Every structure is written in C-alpha cells, then in structure tokens.
Amino acid sequence: MEGNYDLVIVGGGMVGAAVALSLADTELKIALLERSLPEAFSADQPMDLRVSALSPASIDLLNQLGAWQTLLSWRTCPYQRMRVWELDEDAEGVAGQAARNLATEFSAQDIAIPELGYIVENRLVQRALLDQLSGVGNVTLITDGVERIDYSAASTIIELDSGKSLMTPLVVAADGGQSMVRDAAALGAHQWDYEQLAMVINVETVLPQQDITWQQFHPSGPRALLPLPGSNASLVWYDAPDRIQQLMAMDFEQLKATIEANFPKRLGGIQSIQTRASFPLRRLHAQRYIDEGVALLGDAAHQINPLAGQGVNLGFQDVAAFSDVIHDALVQGESISSVDVLKRYEQRRRKGNLLMMQAMDLFYRLFSNQRKPLKLARNLLLGLAAVAKPARIKALRIASGIDRF
C-alpha cells in the first residue's frame, strides 16, 4: 500500500488541480493523480487547439487560487463582446437582407464589467494551477496511471499502474467524461452524441487581435470565432460528420480557401493555418453526483454542448461549491465522506448544471432545424434578444457566473 489519504482526486486537469488547490489550506492529506503533466510554458510555443472562454466567475476562482496572475503573465486574450446571428440562405430581397442582418450582440458594458471573459489555452490553466501546488505540504501529486478502482462506501482502494495502491475514505472524480471513478461507484449517466462533429482550427489572421467572439448559424451548423493573442484566432466549424471528415482531409491551402469562402467576411483574410483537429459533440449528465465516499466534478458529472463555451466554467463552479461544503464540514467537525455532507454539494450544483444543459440543448436544436416555424421562432428570439435589454442582461449575468439559474 502506497499510503492512506483523507482525499484522493483522480484527474489533475483544470478541475482536479483546482480542487486540490482549493483545499490546500486545510489539514487534509490529499493525493492528486495525474499521469500526463502539461508541458511548461514558453512564449515561443505554438498555441494549443484546446482553449476555454473563461467567465468572470472562473477568473475570480483562479485569482483566489493564485493562478490568474501567472496566466496573465503568459498568454491570455480578453474579449468585451459576443455576437450571435443566423445566415438564412433561403431569404430573398429586402426582407431576406434584414433576416441575414438580424443579430444579437452582448457587451461587457451591459453589465458594467471590463470584460466578458478571457480565452485561455487549457494547458496553461492546468499548468498554472499545478505550479501553485508545488511546495504545498498537504497535497501530493502522483504521476502514475490508475489501473483499477475498488470503490467502497467505507474506504476506496485505488490500484496504480506501478503496482502501488492508495486507500481513502473519499475519492473525487475529476477524470472526465469517461470517468473510471463514476463507473466504479456505479453512478450511472444519461449520455448521447449529437449528429455533428466540430472542427477546431487555429489560424493567423490578417486582422489584428479582435475583442469579440462570434457565432454565425448556418443550416449545416454554426461557425464561430474565438480571439487569441496577437493576430490569431481559434475557429470552430460544426457540421455533419462526412463534411468534417472531408475538411480534415484537405491540405492547409485547400482548407484556407474553403474557410475564406464559407466564414463571414468579418473574419478577414487568413495568413496561415497552424493546426486543426475534430471531435464529436456529446452530452452527458450523471444520474447522481455523489454517494458515500465519492463525488463527481466537472466532465465526470456533466458534459455540455460547447456552443456557449460553458463547460469548464460549470466545472469551476463545481469546484467552488465542493470546496465550500468541505470547508464548512471541517469547521463543524463532520465527516467529509458522509452522504449528508456530500449531498449539500450535489444540491448546490445539479439543478443549475441541468438547467444550463437543457438551455444549450434547446438552443442547439432550435438553430439546427430548418423547418419554417422554427426559423420564424429563431428570428423572433434573436430579435427579442436584440431589443429586450433586461433579458439580455440576465442572460449575460448567468453566462458570466454572476447569477445562477
């Protein structure tokens, strides 16, 4: 047996590392398991494909954990505005032009904050959090793979690839959508794939850095831009699997011409394509987040359609809630592994996560259907959002993590 711990966190990505750091001020003996550590930051590194749009609430958490100033000294891109509109390829004449121009734009000024968020590479967020853990006495980072998890309500045994084992009364799953912990504890999940793939493409643009993220809806799927530092951007192209496979097979010059022909003119010209990848769109929600001695956080508990970029922000909200519950239980002298304590975390997070997932599902299905009644509903929705300032402000406050559902 390698050792006994009060808490073992399986998965040292952004969410898992944040959990460990949020409990570093306690007397708990914590193990953080992460087999693949992120590469250290260097200013001359190409930008990663995997980025997140961090909300103000997520930035507040990272600031509290001491990682945000590090990220600001590395690479981040603030944005002040978000724009959403639909391309109606069937619209004609003056009415058609009006439909094509119908859009909703959200601004940080609407809710009196300096930025709506920052686009940051996932690897850098993880690296900054792990760097903060160096020298923390009560957290042990173990870079070993997990071979097997023998879950028990009284004490869970985690067998590592090296042959060593850990024992803990409380195991936290931060190991993603295909969570070994969730499976071991038999915490089932409702999940399905959407009928689209997403291709992410990092490009260098002719235009300088933008201060806006945008998303244009096409009959075949959305196309989006996330600004990156300098004259760079992350483009996201949602489409049918066969179309994405066709795009992935193109050489960079063919792909560059295809992007310029199919993306909005506001993108501007493309200097170069740096890298690309594709992935399936998946929805997942655990039937339960907790049981005696186990808790699910982040993607292990929920995976959401990436349309609004809320995935990691929901995960960081999980971290904040879980940390508060554990700190309060310690002050009250309660067992942190008990169902009664862990249920408080689930009660704080499950409903809000579910409502956000349902909202994104409705948004996805509404904009993925070309039936005329739904097209009319979309136009009404965008039109109302454009003129109804209270509704726009409320949506912004929820997306920013300032308000909850």
Top-level class of domain 3-40+122-188+287-362: alpha beta
Least confident span in 44-48, 85-89, 106-110, 189-193:
85-89
* Domain parsing of the chain, residue ranges: 3-40+122-188+287-362, 51-121+192-282+366-399
CATH superfamily, with its number, for domain 51-121+192-282+366-399: D-Amino Acid Oxidase, subunit A, domain 2 (3.30.9.10)
The pLDDT score that the predictor gives to residue 286 is 97
Express each pLDDT in 230-246 by its tens digit: 999 999 999 999 999 99
Same fold? 3-40+122-188+287-362, 51-121+192-282+366-399: no
Residue 151's closest CA among 189, 184, 182, 187? 184
The pLDDT score that the predictor gives to residue 95 is 42
Average pLDDT over residues 309-326: 93
Q: What are the beta bridge partners of residue 118?
A: 54, 78
Per-residue pLDDT band at 382 (split at 50, 70, 90): low
The pLDDT score that the predictor gives to residue 366 is 66
355: which residues sit within 8 A by CB, 6+ positions away? 405
Is 373's pLDDT higher than 70? no
Residue 89, number of CB atoms within 10 A of its CB: 11
Angle between helices 372-387 and 389-399 (to 10 degrees): 90
Tokens for 258, please give them. Answer: 């295809």
The pLDDT score that the predictor gives to residue 359 is 81
| 385 vs 307: CA distance, rounded Å | 17
| 110 vs 286: CA distance, rounded Å | 35
Tokens for 325, please give them. Answer: 């519950």
Residue 128's closest CA among 72, 79, 89, 186? 72
